Amino acid sequence: MTVASIDLAQRLAGRVAVITGGGSGIGLATARRFAAEGARVVIGDVDRAAGEAAAAEVDGLFVAVDVTDEAQVDALFDAAAERYGSVDIAFNNAGISPPDDDSIETTELPAWQRVQDVNLKSVYLCSRAALRHMVPAGRGSIINTASFVAVLGSATSQISYTASKGGVLAMSRELGVQFARQGIRVNALCPGPVDTPLLQELFAADQERAQRRLVHVPVGRFAKPEELAAAVAFLASDDASFITGSTFLVDGGISAAYVTPL
């Protein structure tokens, strides 16, 4: 195949992609991007209305799922394989960042555990469910949403969120190594702060908190969900065929910066 014969607009043609947290934010933007690149998309979300709307928009399948529940996660991936014949891409993206997850001094154990279950346990369950389909096929791409906070510390800590994302990063690295010779790539997407409705709501109420973060971004702004979706589509595609076990930072330069531009 020559370069001229590759249709870059259809990099994911014929692939089946499962996205958790696909009803909003990065997940929804990625569903749109995957569909535009030719993939069949399966949306998993706990929010039925948002998930159904997302699936309808991309002509895909919606499956209601609590990503902390093993049986429901298995059913999500089985439904994708049953409807479309395979599971080629798993974007394990569902996550939460609730207000009761704060400093270690004030975050109580139930809040800690809830975040661990949704952000880390779910990635374990989703990766395992995806691998059951990918290993027999001898191919697949798993992308797990970690965070830039997995690689550097913050004095405005969300202690369980940070710990959960560090776990996602380490687990993704290990899976990437373990399954590399079975044709399966596993990478950790590490976004910087993303301009989502949740972030806008948080920072509209506290401009000082917003500026305390924004000053550390060399690019000078927060990411757009579509910019993360483009990175996920790359990792899902054969363009990333030699990339596995990676810490894929899409953070506007935060993790590289000491002093940022004025």
Task: Count the neighbouring beta carbons within 10 Å of the beta carbon of residue 85.
Answer: 11
pLDDT on residue 51: 98
- Look up residue 179 and give its two tokens: 């399954």
CB 149 within 8 A of CB 168: no
Q: Tens of pLDDT along 98-155?
A: 999 999 999 999 999 999 999 999 999 999 999 999 999 999 999 999 999 999 998 8
> What is the C-alpha separation between 113 and 119, in angstroms, rounded?
10
pLDDT on residue 200: 75
**Range of lowest pLDDT (25-34, 67-76, 205-214, 242-251):** 205-214
- Is pLDDT of 3 > 60? no
> What is the C-alpha separation between 194 and 154, in angstroms, rounded?
16
Q: Please state the pTM of the whole predicted model.
A: 0.94
Strands lying side by side in the sheet with 40-45:
61-64, 40-45, 16-20, 89-92, 140-145, 184-191, 247-250
Reference 135, options 195, 93, 181, 74; nearest CA is 181
C-alpha angle 127/130/134, rounded to 5°? 125
pLDDT on residue 33: 98
Q: Tens of pLDDT along 151-200?
A: 999 888 899 999 999 999 999 999 999 999 999 999 999 999 998 776 77
Query: Region 252-260: what's the mean pLDDT?
Result: 94
Q: Which residues pair with 64 in a beta bridge?
A: 45
**Range of lowest pLDDT (63-77, 155-169, 207-221):** 207-221
Q: Which residues are marked as active site? A: 161
| Cα-based distances in Å from 112 to 55, 70, 118, 171 | 31, 20, 10, 19
- Is pLDDT of 2 > 80? no
Task: Count the neighbouring beta carbons within 10 Å of the beta carbon of residue 205.
Answer: 9
pLDDT on residue 196: 77
- Look up residue 105 and give its two tokens: 């001094």
- Is pLDDT of 60 > 90? yes
More confident residue, 205 or 41: 41
**Range of lowest pLDDT (7-11, 108-112, 164-168, 254-258):** 7-11
C-alpha angle 79/230/74, rounded to 5°? 20
| Cα-based distances in Å from 229 to 55, 97, 163, 252, 258 | 16, 20, 24, 15, 27
In the chain, where the domains are located? 10-256
Average model confidence (pLDDT) across the chain: 94
For domain 10-256, say whether CATH 3.40.50.620 is its number. no
